[in-house]
Chain A
Amino acid sequence: MQSQEAISHGYGSKQKLNYLTNGSTLRSWLLTKDHKRIAIMYLISVSIFFLFGGLYAATIRLELLTPASDLLESATYNKVFTQHGILMIFFFLIPSIPAILGNFLLPIMIGAKDLALPRINLLSLYIYWIAGGLVLFALMQGGVDTGWTFYTPYSTTFSNSYVMLVGLGIFINGFSSILTGLNFIVTIHTMRAPGMTWFRLPLFVWAHYATSLVMVLGTPVVAITVLLLAIERVAQVGIFDPSIGGDPILFQHLFWFYSHPAVYIMILPGMGVISELISNFSRKKVFGYEFIAFSSIAIAVFGFLVWGHHMFVSGQSIYAGLVFSFLTMVVAVPSAIKMFNWTATLYKGSISFDTPMLYAIGFMGLFLIGGLTGLFLGAMGLTVHLTDTYFVVAHFHYVMVGGQVIAYLGGIHYWWPKMTGKMYSEFWGKISAMLVFVGFNLTFFPQFIVGYQGMPRRYASYPEELQVLNIFSTAGASVLGIGLLMPAVYLMHSLIAGKPAGDNPWMLPGLEWRTSSPPPTENFETMPVVTWEAYEFGEENGLDIEEAKRREAALV
């Protein structure tokens, strides 16, 4: 088996061990310092959390099929949406792209043997497991019903659930983020191969650089917030609880000071993936490379200044609201720039519609809607009506599922041949990409309307006149669910029966395509020297196009 793989995985490469075959004991995985193995373990664990989160989502949608709260009683429903939110945000959206794709690819893309701090990398995985284990344990014991936002004083004094345990889990999980971010920053600064200048970095790396800044600077705030909560509960100091002299709004400030930037932790890496996909599948250098790179940094920096736009109706002063609304509008600009640049990248390209590119184009459409509806929610007079309704639910799903999850899926499909050495079924890939797109819109677009109608979020029952739109939504969710489950099946299947992918199935110039698939433990046989700009597709950059065509013909 092993030797067969070694022969098949590329033209010209000698029989050698790759990172998957280099050691097969459990111990060799659990004690590995190889960023690629760590990424694979993240992939498996994050997928499990995604599955749980998805089952909760299905339950929510089933309950909302009818106006009455008939499938679940309110107590259960409240737990279900809370746990859906917590698992999705803290255990799927935040770690998925950085810890899986970033971990696997970032060192290879800059020509490094590993991350700068490999043991810290393994530690961050263990922290993730401990945190996830704690949270799952708490959910099995009884669960939480506070909403993933944990607003006080409900979470401190009124919720009879496992808030502290889940809080502890999220606190611990934060360290995993911080360590990953730190590791990326150090790696990007110190481990770039000769010739890999800052402006030759793939945009995926730039996006992770910006993300890491947010992770390192923002995550401690959530840790502090949880700590303050614990201090208040244990020592009865009035921090958030008004009945002992605290201020419940303070909690919201602290919470959103982290959680708004966290939205960028979720979406920036997704934008990085999309920049790769759009450029590579149109075989054109990204239009306005520098603008995309700097707009990531701009989003990361401004992202810290807009948290108050979650609190327009909390009773905060009108003038604070003005400032936050203004800054929110300013952040919209770098996102718009990216949209334009991606579109312009297609111009005069040579566009191929492989599965990852279908996801990328889907992303553009969905992120467009997600981003624009963000403007609705940033416009104060309008958001007063929209806050805490399904309009918000629709908006953040467009950004987080339509954006982040779609980018993640696109990325997984794109790099799957590199990670596993196997090609999946293009046919099923395309079908699933389309099902996801259609199902997604059918699920969440009606929620904008139902939200403008006034249907509040976190409701187990709702007025009858809103049922029609909710039926659409639940129907869409079924299609979406199938679309999301399919990759799990055909990707697994490809491991056993997939065609060998070859080192560079898409014929691209990036460093990750210049090593074997799957890469060896040290990533490269010899230390690469970079002499080309990012996204240059010509033969002069060492791409043997003729050879690739011959190979392609032989495969078909």
Chain B
Amino acid sequence: MQTTNWVPLFPEQASTFAAHVDLLYAYLIVVSIVFSIPIVVAIFVFAIKYRETEKFATPEEMHGSMVLETVWSIIPFVVSMTIFLGGALVYFEQFTPPDDSMEIYVVGKQWMWKIQHQTGQREINELHVPVGRNVKLTMTTEDVLHDFDIPAFRTKADVVPGRYTYLWFNATKPGKYHLFCAEYCGLNHSGMGGYVYVMEQRDFDNWLSGSVSGQTPVEEGKDLFMNKLGCASCHAGGPAQRGAKLEGIFNHDVKLVGGATVKADENYLRNSILNPSSQVVEGFQPIMPTFKGQVTEEQLTSLVAYIKSLSPNAAAASSSTSAAATTAPAANANTSAANTAASKPAAHGNTSNK
């Protein structure tokens, strides 16, 4: 729980990398102190010792020293490189979500956070997560830039219109933590936040089973794909398909007309739906209409979730939450998932080895 001592110096450490960030912080504080003490002491000592005794005196000349200059160029350089390396290590940790992360979708909107769980729960300005699980947030926004910021987890990431960005964490302590929007977003920017609730797995499961509202993202995506938007008429597979095959595409390289190759990640999928003519797959005609303006950000995330579910191997990262995996729609996807995704049981096991 949020402790409120009189003047708190540190926010709570509530994620696996919080301690690493704090360690880096401590290292920098030590470096700063070690660097400042000689300078401050020197300034004071010189100021007192060499203060003017005679008005307008001309002290002895001294021009500089190559040795000193070299030494005090090299030392800061070496120290700054250690800081660079430390920072890079922690950064890699912060921005490399493990493959077995449970995925949650976040859509920012002036001025609220809309959150969608794989199982269909939706919440606003609150995020419930289980303790000890790797959680990956896939985020976008309907309007302007926002930034999903959880100080207790020592992480944040901008949320950018027109693309997906990520954030992951593994919460280590049950509790209630501040959630802020940290990128200025207009009128009610400072009101755009709430709390992250970290719960024991059991409580989380209870919470999940509580308020399931309608469809899971994958189901909703499938519904849009098959019925509402008519994507299936071109992409349904079979010999007559006019659109590219989507099964197994996620996280694989795609050859485009013109020779370029791109990796079909979430941003690629999103862009293919909104600006199809900007990346036509080799062997196909640029006949797909744009769906810009017809789908909301939340529907888009669902579509992307559905297309990802068609590639169970590559999408291990996103479909490995227990609930979502079992409800994954396409029958063939399910079986191949069972056959090949050997890492999955391990992923589930993860939940308990907190």
Contact = CB atoms under 8 A, between A and B. Distances in A.
Interface in B102-158: 110, 143-145, 147, 149, 151-152, 154-158
Interface string A303-342: 0000000001111001001100110011011001101110
A548 B161 contact: no
B190 A458 contact: yes
Contact of B56 (A347, A385, A545): A545
A454 to B, nearest CB: 3
Interface in B44-67: 46-47, 50-65
Interface in A37-74: 69, 74
A235 interface: no
A346 B93 CA distance: 45
B39 interface: yes
A153 B161 contact: yes
Interface string B66-85: 00110011001100110110
Contacts of B53: 350
Contacts of B183: 151, 388
Interface centre among A369, A387, A543 (most CB of B within 10 A): A387
Interface string B1-30: 010101111110000010011001100100
A340 B56 contact: no
Contacts of B331: none
A452 B87 contact: no
Contacts of A490: none
A287 B72 CA distance: 13
A349 B87 contact: no
B162 A361 contact: no
How big is chain A's contact interface, by range? 35 or more
A343 B162 contact: no
A315 B160 contact: yes
Contacts of A344: 68
B72 A379 contact: no
B43 interface: yes
Main SS class of interface, B? mixed
Contacts of A375: 28, 31-32, 80, 83
B89 to A, nearest CB: 7
Given A145-B186, A242-B162, A329 B47 contact: no
Contacts of B81: 329
Main SS class of interface, A? helix
Contacts of B47: 346, 351, 353, 361
A312 B92 CA distance: 12
Interface in B245-296: 275, 292
A361 B43 contact: yes
Contact of B91 (A318, A326, A351, A549): A318
Nearest to A327: B84
B63 A329 contact: no
Interface string A146-157: 110101011000
Contacts of A545: 56, 58
B235 interface: no
B62 A379 contact: no
Contacts of B351: none
Nearest to B153: A385
Contacts of A382: 21, 24-25, 28, 87, 90
Interface centre among A333, A545, A552 (most CB of B within 10 A): A333
Contact of B178 (A146, A248, A353, A454): A454
A37 to B, nearest CB: 32
Contacts of A78: 184, 186-187, 189
A383 B161 CA distance: 23
A439 B72 CA distance: 32
A265 B144 CA distance: 30
Contacts of B60: 348
Given A349-B50, A456-B181, A159 B86 contact: no
A390 B59 CA distance: 45
A379 B50 contact: no
A243 B17 CA distance: 36
Given A348-B50, A388-B147, A379 B87 contact: yes
Contact of B76 (A282, A285, A333): A333
A153 B190 CA distance: 18
B163 interface: yes
B43 A346 contact: yes
A369 B28 CA distance: 12
A453 B3 CA distance: 12
A368 B94 contact: no
B87 A285 contact: no
Interface string A361-390: 100110011001101101111111101110
B64 A381 contact: no
Interface in A68-123: 69, 74-75, 78
Nearest to B24: A382
Given A315-B157, A322-B88, A349-B46, A381 B80 contact: no
Given A346-B47, A379-B84, A552 B28 contact: no
Given A145-B186, A545-B56, A332 B76 contact: yes
Contacts of A312: 91
A388 B183 CA distance: 7
Contact of A329 (B56, B64, B80, B154): B80
A514 to B, nearest CB: 15
A350 B54 contact: yes
A186 interface: no
Given A378-B83, A461-B190, A291 B69 contact: yes
B151 A454 contact: yes
Contacts of B185: 154
A452 B11 contact: yes
B59 A74 contact: no
A159 B186 contact: yes
Contacts of A245: 275
Interface string B161-196: 111010000000000001011111111111100000
A158 B168 CA distance: 29
Given A249-B160, A287-B62, A552-B55, A469 B7 contact: yes
A491 interface: no
B56 A154 contact: no
B95 interface: yes
Contact of A350 (B59, B69, B88): B59
Contact of B59 (A322, A348, A373, A453): A348
A507 B2 CA distance: 61
Contact of B86 (A348, A381, A388, A538): A381
B240 interface: no
Nearest to B148: A313
B229 to A, nearest CB: 19
A389 B182 contact: yes
B36 interface: yes
Contact of B40 (A340, A365, A464): A365
Given A453-B11, A456-B181, A456-B190, A325 B87 contact: yes
Given A145-B186, A153-B161, 6 more contacts: A151-B183, A318-B92, A352-B55, A382-B28, A387-B182, A388-B149
15 contacts: A145-B186, A249-B160, A284-B62, A314-B158, A329-B83, A346-B46, A351-B52, A378-B84, A380-B91, A381-B90, A382-B87, A384-B90, A388-B183, A452-B10, A507-B56
Closest 7 CB pairs of A and B: A381-B90, A454-B151, A242-B162, A379-B87, A459-B190, A380-B91, A346-B46
